Structure 1
Amino acid sequence: MSCFQVRTDLALEARESIGEAEEIRGVSVEETYDEKNEIRVTRVIIETKNGAKAMGKPIGTYTTLEAPRMVEPDENYHQEISSALAKELKDIIPEAEEEQSVLIVGLGNRDVTADALGPNVADNLFITRHVVMEYGKAAYSKSKMNMVSSIVPGVMAKTGMESAEIIKGVIDQTKPDVVIVVDALAARSTKRLNRTIQVTNTGIHPGSGVGNHRNALTKESLEVPVIAIGVPTVVDAATIVNDAVSGEMKVNLAELNNMYVTSKDVDYQIKQISHVICDALNEALEL
C-alpha cells in the first residue's frame, strides 16, 4: 500500500503513532481518569527540541480531554466536562488567578458546519470588556472581573486577509494579556470525533489539519501568550481507508488525501460542544 502522511492535530495521537513502548527523550505523558464520569485527561509535555522533532509538534504542553458521551444530550454530564476543562484551562492560562484582559478568537468558517466550532463558541460567550471599561467592576458586583472580548476573523476567501493579520490588528488596539483561540481540528481516529478537546499553550496554525496552512497564531507571532482550544471534527478519508483495508489490497490513497469525513449529525454536535467550551471558559475566567 502506498505510503501517506497521517494528518492529526492531536499531540496524543502523534505520541500514540510512535508507539507507547518506545520512549521519546524530552517528552513526558501524564494521565488521569475520572471513572465515574468517564473523562480521561492526558497531558503530553514536550520539553526539548529532540522531543519536538520526534513528535512533529512545538515545545509546550498539550492537554487532551476525552469524553465518549460528550455529544449525548445530557446537560449534567456536559457540566462535568465543562468543569474538568475549566480546571485544565486554569492550569495552562498564564497568571490565571490575576485579573486579566482576555481576547477569545473563534476561528473557522461558519458556513461550513464542521469548521464552525470557533464562530459558535464566540457567538455564545459572556463578553464583559465593554461594560467594565464603561462602568467598572462594580457593574458586576465583583472585586475581580476579567475583561473578555471576542472576534471571529472569518476566512481569507471572504475577507482577503489572513486571520493572523486581523487578530494582530485587534491586539494592537485592545492590548489583551492573553489570547484564547478556538478552532476545529483533524483527528486520526474516528472514535475521537467530537468527543475530544485539546488545550495547548503553543498556539495554533489555522487550517493545518486539512493541509490549508495559514500564518501561525503563537506567542512569537502575536507577542502575547496564546492558548489554543481545539476539537477534532473531521478525519482524513485516507486514514479511514488505510485502517479498514488489508495490506494486500491496493488503494490509491493519494486520491483521498483531500477528502475529509465527519459525522452526519455534526451540526447538532458542534452546538453541543460549543456550549461545553463556553461554560468552561466562563468558569475558568470566573465570569
Structure 2
Amino acid sequence: MENTFEVRTDLAVEEKESFPGDGGEISGVSLREWHRADSRIKMTEVKILDEKGSKAMGKPIGTYITLEADQLSLKDEDYHREVSKELSAQISKLLEGKDFTKPNFHVLVAGLGNSSVTPDSLGPRVLNNLQVTRHLKVQYGDDFWRGKPMPVISGIAPGVMAQTGMETAEILKGIIKETKPDLIIAIDALAARSVKRLGTTIQLTDTGIHPGSGVGNHRNSLTKESLGVPVMAIGVPTVVGAAAIVHDTVTTLIRALSENMETKGMGDFMENLNSDEQYDLIRELLEPEFGPLYVTPPDIDETVKELSFTISEGIHMTFLGQEVS
C-alpha cells in the first residue's frame, strides 16, 4: 500500500529528519550541523542542490538555515540578543555577493500574516518594531543620505486575502513597481511537525516563500521569479497540525506497548501498520470528524511578542549595524 499520509511542515530541517539515517544520504541534498563554541544555538544548513533533491524534499532548490534555540520562548534579554546576533550573521551569509551595505541598497521588509490572529501575527509585529529609513531619503533627498553607510529600509504589512481581497503577491508587485527595492525580506509564521519547535526555531531561506503552504492554504508564491526581486524568507513555527500530534502519540504508544510483555503483541501489530493505517486507527478511536485542526501553545501571545523583537533586532544589526531600543 502506498504511503500517502503527509504531515505538513514548512521546515526543511524536519523534511530532512523524515528520511532514514541522519538525512545526509538524500541525493541532491547536502547537510551541515554545528554549534558555535560561544553559542547555545544549534545551527543546521540544508542545501537543495538540484531537481532530484527538490523532489525528494518537496521544496525549491536553495539554502535553508535553521537556528534552534530551546530557550527562545523564555523572556531572557541576553539570550534573545545572542539569537539576534546569530540571525544577523546568517542573514549576511545568505546575502554574500550582494553589496547590501551601500547607501542606496533598498530593503523592503514584508510582514506577512493576520495581525488579528496571534499565531499568524509574527510578520506584522516585526514590522511594528522595525526602524524604517526610506522616508528620510524621500523627505531630505540624496544630500541627507550622502556619507551615511546604511541601506534604505521600508516595510509593509499587506494583511491577508480575507482582509484585503488581494493576493500578497499582487500588493507587493505594485509596491515593487513604485519603490524598486533591491531585496525583499518576507517574515511569516510557519507550521511545524514537532511541538518542541514551536517558538524555538527560526528558518532562513533564499528561496522566497509560499504563503499558507504549511497549513494547506496555497497562495501565490513570493519568489525572485514571481516578483523580479530576490526574496529572503524568515519564519518561525507557531502552529503544529493535530494530525502530527496524533501521529507522534501513536509512535510513543507503540513503543510503550512493545516494551511491555503483556501488550507486546498489540505493539507489534500497530508497528506493522503503515502511517496511513496508524492515522486512520487513532482517528476512529478519537472522533468521527477530526477535521484539519491546528494547535498553538497557550503562551503564544508572549512568545510572538518576544520573537518579533528578536527578529527585528537581527535585521537592524545586519543593515544598520546596531541594536535599536
Instruction: Give the structure 2 partner of residue 9 of structure 1.
Output: 10
1:260 matched residue in structure 2: 294
SS for the counterpart of 1:8 is coil
Structure 2 matches for 1:1-287, cutoff 5 A?
A: 4-21=5-22, 23-34=25-36, 36-93=38-95, 95-99=98-102, 100-136=105-141, 139=144, 143-245=148-250, 246=253, 248=270, 250-252=281-283, 255-256=289-290, 258-287=292-321
Deviations 1:86-111 (A, max 9, x none): 00001112515442101000000011
State the Cα distance separating 1:255 from its structure 2 match.
4.5
Indicate if the aligned counterparts of 2:101 and 2:150 stay in contact, CA closer than 8 A: no
Partner AA of 1:231 in structure 2: V
Distance 1:96 1:234, change over 3 A: farther
**2: CA distance, partners of 1:259 / 1:49:** 32
Question: What displacement does 1:73 show?
Answer: 1.1
Partners in 2 of 1:47 and 1:116 — Cα distance? Answer: 32
* Partner amino acid, structure 1, of 2:20: G
- The amino acid that maps onto 2:73 is V
CA contact (8 A) 2:100 2:151 kept: no
Identity %: 51
SS at match of 1:231: strand
- The whole-number CA distance in structure 2 between the counterparts of 1:63 and 1:21 is 16
Partner-residue secondary structure (3-state), 2:175: helix
Which is worse superposed, 18-27 or 155-164? Answer: 18-27
> What is the alpha-carbon distance in structure 1 between the residues aligned to residue 100 and residue 165 of structure 2?
38
CA shift, 1:200, in A, is 0.2
Q: State the shift of 1:134 in Å.
A: 2.3
TM-score by length of 2: 0.83
Structure 1 residues without counterparts, runs of 5 or longer:
none
Q: Deviations over 1:39-69 (max 9, x none)?
A: 0111101111111111111000000000000
> 1:117 and 1:189, CA in 2 relative to 1: closer, same or farther beyond 3 A?
same
CA distance in 1, matches of 2:210, 2:147: 36
- Determine the C-alpha separation between the residues in 2 that align with 1:154 and 1:56: 27
Shift in Å, 1:36: 4.6
Distance 2:229 2:289 in 1: 40
**Could you say if the C-alpha distance between residues 6 and 36 of structure 1 is closer, same or farther in structure 2, counting changes exceeding 3 Å?**
same
Offset, 1:3: 5.5
Structure 2: segments with no counterpart, 5+ residues = 255-269, 271-277
How far off its partner does 1:144 sit? 1.3
> What residue identity is the alignment partner of 2:137?
V
- AA aligned to 1:44 is V
Secondary structure of residue in 2 paired with 1:252: helix
Name whichever of 30-39 and 157-166 sits farther off. Answer: 30-39
In terms of Rg, which structure is larger? 2
Letter in 2 for 1:55: M
Helix, strand or coil for the counterpart of 1:251?
A: helix
SS for the counterpart of 1:30 is strand
